[in-house]
Amino acid sequence: MAAAEELDIVIVGGGICGLATALGLHRKGIQSVVLERSDTLRATGAAITVFPNGWRALHQLGLDSTLLSTAIPWQRAVDISPEGVAHEIRLSEEDTRCLRRGDLVEALANALPLQTIRFGCQVVSVNVEKSSSCAVLQLHDGSLIKAKVLIGCDGLNSVIANYIGLKPTRFLSTCSVRGLTLYPNGHGYAPKSLRVRKDKHYVGRIPIDEKTVYWFVALEWIQKVDAKMPKDPASIRQLALDRTAGFSKDIVEMIENSDLSSLSLTRLRYRAPWNLLSRSLRRETITVAGDAWHAMGPFLGQGGSVALEDAVVLARCLSKKICNANMNRSRMHLSTQMAKDALDEYLKERRRRVVLLSTLTYLTGLLTIEDLSLLLRLLCIIIFAVVFRDRLNHTRYDCGEL
């Protein structure tokens, strides 16, 4: 068996959280390696809403000014009920924008040093070497990597989350089609989020800029019908059109004229908030961040922003321990105890935030898409009134300086 390559900090997953964590460490002068299973950068999901809390994290990473120019701000969200009644919510006066996922991922990747991201590296197993407490990763090609710190940012099907003992994600009763539509002469839509519901399906639309809109269709999951979901873009678009036949002409045309290359269809999943509260989230010097830790439904649009927060806090905690211990050293020294202390500090700071936001998202999803009994619906409303009285408070969160 070939000898393992030895590295200090390894991040599994080259999505938003993984790249942001690597960038946060780089900004503090700490090198890391990102292992991405795909052969190129991936930006599945077309677009992502970034709320003020996410922009604060991007500011710490030095990317806010670059990305602000790629999308227009919006401060209003409008929900239209099946009966045609519109309910409008005024958001924070601070920036809320919908970014193309590709723009965000590319900005993160371009800010990293060359060779930070290794493409085509799929992790198939993880173990801890007893003698050193280092994580040993086996890749699909049989090669081995030994890491002093291992951070799993590998999403919903996280190999790292599974290794440290997190329970598997759960399925919601909904699947989602997401895409982009370009209007060469301008779409003319107001800068606001729109959600329209009919029967058990609903459509959302958010302008990215004057000519591009992001949209999604949330569809009831029908076990017998949807067991084999289409994968090719044309079939995905046709599915969305079939299920939204009764919606307004502008929505149907938006789906018809969508960019096929942007379309995706996924079954929505989440991690139960009570599992996040009770489970250990570190095993030796291994932990998780982003969706690998707190996968949540899209009902608050906070998944990306919270992943950026994770990245800033994780990079801060690691850099604080490393920098304090290496003030008089010419080469970086990272001990097992330093790594454990840093990861514990990160988890302690993030757990309450993550559990509360996952709970808020979970309850919002129940009220939005699930057929609840009158008693359960009343219970959710009471919890909202007692615990989450200010529905926008989570968007004002500040993850602090890097």
What is the residue type of 336?
Answer: T
How sure is the predictor about 322, in pLDDT bands with cuts at 50, 70 and 90? confident
pLDDT for residue 264: 92
pLDDT for residue 148: 94
For residue 193, the tally of other CB atoms under 10 A from its CB is: 21
pLDDT per residue over 244-257, tens digit each? 988 999 999 999 99
**Would the pLDDT of 328 be above 60?**
no
pTM, two decimals, is 0.93
Do 28 and 315 form a contact (C-beta atoms < 8 A)?
Answer: yes
Indicate the average pLDDT of the chain.
90
Q: How far is CA 85 from CA 79, 81, 143, 250, 300, in A?
A: 8, 5, 59, 18, 21
167 three-class SS: coil
Residue carrying structure tokens 């990293």: 112
Do 21 and 311 form a contact (C-beta atoms < 8 A)?
Answer: yes
Q: Does the domain spanning 171-270 belong to CATH 3.20.20.150? A: no
Lowest mean pLDDT among 116-125, 144-153, 184-193, 364-373: 364-373
pLDDT per residue over 211-246, tens digit each? 999 999 998 876 555 567 788 999 999 999 998 988
The domain limits of the chain are: 5-73+102-169+271-396, 171-270
CA distance 218 to 297: 11
pLDDT per residue over 269-296, tens digit each? 899 888 888 678 999 999 999 999 999 8
**Would the pLDDT of 136 be above 70?**
yes
**Would the pLDDT of 266 be above 60?**
yes
Residue carrying structure tokens 């057929």: 371
pLDDT for residue 275: 86
How sure is the predictor about 374, in pLDDT bands with cuts at 50, 70 and 90? confident
Lowest mean pLDDT among 150-164, 290-304, 379-393: 379-393
CATH superfamily label, 5-73+102-169+271-396: FAD/NAD(P)-binding domain (3.50.50.60)
Do 308 and 20 form a contact (C-beta atoms < 8 A)?
Answer: yes
pLDDT for residue 220: 81
Q: Strand 5-12 relative to strand 33-36: parallel, antiparallel, unpaired? A: parallel
pLDDT for residue 222: 66
**Distance from the first to the final alpha carbon of the chain:** 40
The crossing angle, in degrees rounded to 10, of helices 52-61 and 303-325 is 40
pLDDT for residue 91: 80
pLDDT for residue 152: 97
What is the residue type of 61?
Answer: L
Q: What integer is the mean pLDDT of 84-94?
A: 81
Q: What integer is the mean pLDDT of 81-89?
A: 83
